[in-house]
């Protein structure tokens, strides 16, 4: 099995939706483009990736959203060294169709209280749904390592939630551990690096916004409820 030395995850650059959430009322989420700032963020990340990969081959998987495709294009990787596939399972969490800003803000408040993993947006997905499809993709990815000529690098161009859930699935994090972590910033990178012992380690942690033990203790209390 030719396991890659690196599995690199990148969040898309800043999109027009990140800059102005009213745009979701007029444009589909999947069609939102990068801002000028987002293009610059992606180009800066691309410089680091080109230095990282050098002349090595890269197997690339890109979410089908416009902002992830644009982010990948801004990397300017050598087309002779990359194998690119669009991967729908790496898409953003589905929120339904066009969004009412006030309704979404209310649902986000509900999600914060209920839990990011389990809360399901009306007409959309829960974090658990995204976990399932990201986990399904991971199984396909792992099977691809059986090819003897598999590239030494894998690059996933995706979204913040998907990045955290990919790592949750890979490293067997608990729900409480997942919910204690913040999304990476736009065009931020996390990398799984193959160690000498044959195990992958995360090059740097996600920012933690609260203690997972607090979340875990709350769940134990809830489980004691007779309902």
Q: List, for residues 92-129, the tens digit of each pLDDT value.
A: 999 888 888 888 889 989 998 899 999 999 889 999 99
Catalytic-labelled residue, pool 70, 92, 125, 179: 92
Residue 124, token pair as written in the block? 């959309």
The chain-wide mean pLDDT, for the chain, equals: 92
Higher-pLDDT residue of 215, 151: 151
Give the pLDDT of residue 191.
98
Average pLDDT (18-42) is: 96
Whole-number pLDDT of residue 219:
47
Mean pLDDT value across residues 71-84: 98
Based on the residue annotation, tell me whether 86 is a catalytic residue of this protein: no
- For the chain, domains (ranges, CATH) are 6-223 (3.40.50.1240)
Confidence bin at 203 (pLDDT 50/70/90): very high
Is 92 assigned a catalytic role?
Answer: yes
Residue 39 contacts residue 60 (beta carbons within 8 Å): no
* DSSP one-letter code for 54: T
pLDDT at residue 98, rounded to an integer = 84
If you write DSSP's letter for every residue of 149-214 in order, what string do you get?
A: T--SEEEEEE-HHHHHHHHHHHHT--HHHHHTBPPPPTT-EEEEEE-TTS-EEESSPPPB-S-HHH
Distance CA 155, CA 6 (A): 8
Q: Which token pair is 117?
A: 């993993």
In this predicted structure, the answer to whether residue 226 has a pLDDT above a threshold of 90 is no
Among 108-112, 125-129, 130-134, 193-197, where is mean pLDDT lowest?
A: 108-112
Which of the following is catalytic: 12, 69, 116, 159? 12
The pLDDT tens digits for 45-75 are 999 999 999 999 999 999 999 999 999 999 9
């Amino acid at each position: 099995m030719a396991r890659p030395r690196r599995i690199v995850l990148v969040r898309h650059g800043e999109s027009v939706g990140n800059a102005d959430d009213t745009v979701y009322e007029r444009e589909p989420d999947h069609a939102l483009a990068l801002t000028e700032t987002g293009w610059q963020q992606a180009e800066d990340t691309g410089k680091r990736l080109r230095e990282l990969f050098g002349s090595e081959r890269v197997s690339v998987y890109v979410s089908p959203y416009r902002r992830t495709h644009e982010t990948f294009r801004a990397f300017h990787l050598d087309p002779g060294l990359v194998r690119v596939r669009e991967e729908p399972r790496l898409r953003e969490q589905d929120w339904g169709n066009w969004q009412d800003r006030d309704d979404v803000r209310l649902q986000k408040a509900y999600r914060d209280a209920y839990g990011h993993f389990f809360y399901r947006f009306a007409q959309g997905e829960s974090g658990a749904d995204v976990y399932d499809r990201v986990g399904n993709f991971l199984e396909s990815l792992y099977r691809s390592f059986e090819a003897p000529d598999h590239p030494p690098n894998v690059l996933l161009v995706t979204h913040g939630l998907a990045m955290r859930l990919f790592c949750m699935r890979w490293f067997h994090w608990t729900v409480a551990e997942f919910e204690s972590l913040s999304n990476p910033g736009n065009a931020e990178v996390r990398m799984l690096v193959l160690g000498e012992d044959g195990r992958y380690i995360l090059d740097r942690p996600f920012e933690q916004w609260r203690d997972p033990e607090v979340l875990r203790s709350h769940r134990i209390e809830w489980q004691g409820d007779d309902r």
